[in-house]
Each structure stands twice: as structure tokens, then as C-alpha cells.
Amino acid sequence: MQKLIEFLIKNNIQFEENVSLKKRTWIKTGGSVSVWIEPNTIELLILLAEFLFENKIKYETVGHTSNIYYLDATNPQVIVSTKNLISYRITDSCVNCDCGVHVSTLSRALVNKGIVGFSGLINLPGTVGAATVNNSSCFGSEFSSLIKDVSLFDKSTGTIKTICAENLMYGHRSSALKSKLIDAVVISVSLKLIKGCVDEEVRKAKEATEIRKYTQEPPAYTLGSVFANLNERKSLGYRFFRKCYMILAKLHFVKKPSRTHLLLKYYGYEYLKPYVSDKNVNTFIWKPEIENKELFFSEYCNFMRKAFVDPRLEIEVR
């Protein structure tokens, strides 16, 4: 590790040692990392990746960590943060983005220029690099449909590659990068620019913002959708239970319940109600005051597997 520290000092790359992940991660969880590194330019990111490859040093790459749940027992050796890599350049046909560009900042700028495809992403937390890996989608905007090509540092060969979107095996909120079929660090992304009507794109963005207020929690202490491909189980028992409960609510014997409340109550997990969004059952809330976060999250996952058919974990647990 001393060799890495000397390299960072020599190349004037910003870093800190023995950093608490609770002070750096989106939902304030995790143990500690031996070395937290924040390169300020793409050139330094590539230089650092090459050094780590040559010296066989294992590392993790993160953006805002708005899709990562670090367990408190997790203590990585090296984390490279892309939070300072926020430059993007607009040309006639595309926008070239550093991996750390904020999706929301970029989307707002492009919507105001009438660029099609970004209106649903204006409130999405996270970076362009993370959205490329996860194939983030929201309100009709899917990131993979916007990608022209991606510049990657291949961690298996130590080389830079440019790969078109078609070769990244995109699916619903999945990719070859997310599954590690391609083990690489996203360096930069080229996005397509399709000109539309400014007024129409702004209208769609405002509409998405309004819908989000009623269907999703504010981003603090949540990682958005926890699972992908949710299909509720066709349980006759639950349907009967729901119908009876709604009749009682109509007669004012009980308060009208949310879908979250009904599902939790039926499957015997009502004690999780403070930690599951009333707006969206697919959102877990890591409240700061929760002492046993990992236990409650594990119970939440058990509940979701009972209520839905083969739900696939969308967030990354490390």
C-alpha cells in the first residue's frame, strides 16, 4: 500500500487514508476504506487504473454510491471515486461525458435544448458512469438507448477500449458491465443527440417531476428501486384479504391502506412499515436511527421474495 501512496503523492492525485464509508456513501453505511482516491481528470483516472493493474492492486470504483449498499462489515482496501470528473462537451451529433458527470445536471441542460430522451432522467441521482453500467431508466427514458459508445479501462487486460452500446448486452436495468461479463471501469461515454421541440421536452420533464413526487421517496436515505422485474404473486388469499380490508376502509372501520401496508400486513411483515416507502413498496428507507439496518433489510428482502415472483436485486450490495 505504501507504493500506492507514493504514486498518488508523486502524481498529485487527491486521496485520504482510513476513511469511514458512513461519511462518504449515499445512505451512510459501510465500514472503512484504507485509501479513498479522487482523481481530478480523466487522464489521472487512466494513469491510476494502469498503475493499479500493473501492481495487481484490487480496487472498487464508485460515483455517488446512490445505487450501492455497503454493509457495515465491508472494509475495502482501495476505492476510486469519480465524483470530480464532471466535464462534458456538446457537439453537433453527440455529447461526450466524463464518467462522473451528474445525470440530473446533464439531463436538465439537454432538456432545455430540446434534446429527446432525457426528460425522465432530470431527477435521477447518480453519475453517467453508473447509469451506463446499470442501464438506469425512469419515466420512459432508458440510458442504454441514448448511448453511442463507451470508453472503458479493461481490468482484465489493462487496456483502453471503445465499445458500442450494442455490444454491452443491455437489458432491463442490466448490462454486461453490471454482471461483470465485461470487467471494466467506465472512463467516458458518448451520448446521441436527437433534436426535438424544447417546449415538449420541458413539458415532459415537468410531468415526470410531478409524478415522482407522488410515487417515489426523496433520494435521501434510499437507493431508489431495490428490485427489478417485479411481478406480484397471484395469490387468491391476498386478493380476498385486500377486498375485505378495502370494504372495512370504505365503511370507515379502518383507515384506507396503501399497497405497501396491505402487502406487509398480509405477509406478516407489518413491523417493517417504518422502513418501507408508503409510496412504493420497492423502496427501502435506510433511516439514520435504524440500529440493525442489515437485519431489517434482510427481512425486507425476504418479504419481497414472498410477495413477488423471483424479484431480481437491482441495487448493488457490497
Kindly report, as residue ranges, where domains of CATH 3.30.465.10 are found in the chain: 88-215
d(CA 62, CA 39): 12
Res 81: pLDDT: 98
For the residues 97-105, what does the mean pLDDT come to? 97
d(CA 154, CA 182): 8
Above 90 in pLDDT, residue 248? no
Over residues 10-65, the pLDDT tens digits come to: 999 999 999 999 999 999 999 999 999 999 999 999 999 999 999 999 999 999 99
CATH no. of 2-81: 3.30.43.10
Above 90 in pLDDT, residue 253? no
Helix, strand, or coil (residue 192): strand
Query: If you write DSSP's letter for every residue of 138-204 in order, what string do you get?
Result: ETTEEGGGGEEEEEEEETTTTEEEEEEGGGG--BTTB-TTTTTSS-EEEEEEEEE--B--HHHHHHH
Mean pLDDT lowest for which of 10-24, 67-81, 161-175, 217-231? Answer: 217-231
Kindly report, as residue ranges, where domains of CATH 3.30.43.10 are found in the chain: 2-81
Contact 132, 152 (CB under 8 A): no
Q: Is 247 exposed, middle or buried (0-12, 13-18, 19+ CB in 10 A)?
A: exposed
For residue 251, name the pLDDT band (cuts at 50, 70, 90): confident
d(CA 146, CA 173): 14
CATH no. of 88-215: 3.30.465.10
Over residues 172-196, the pLDDT tens digits come to: 889 999 999 999 999 999 999 999 9
Res 218: pLDDT: 83
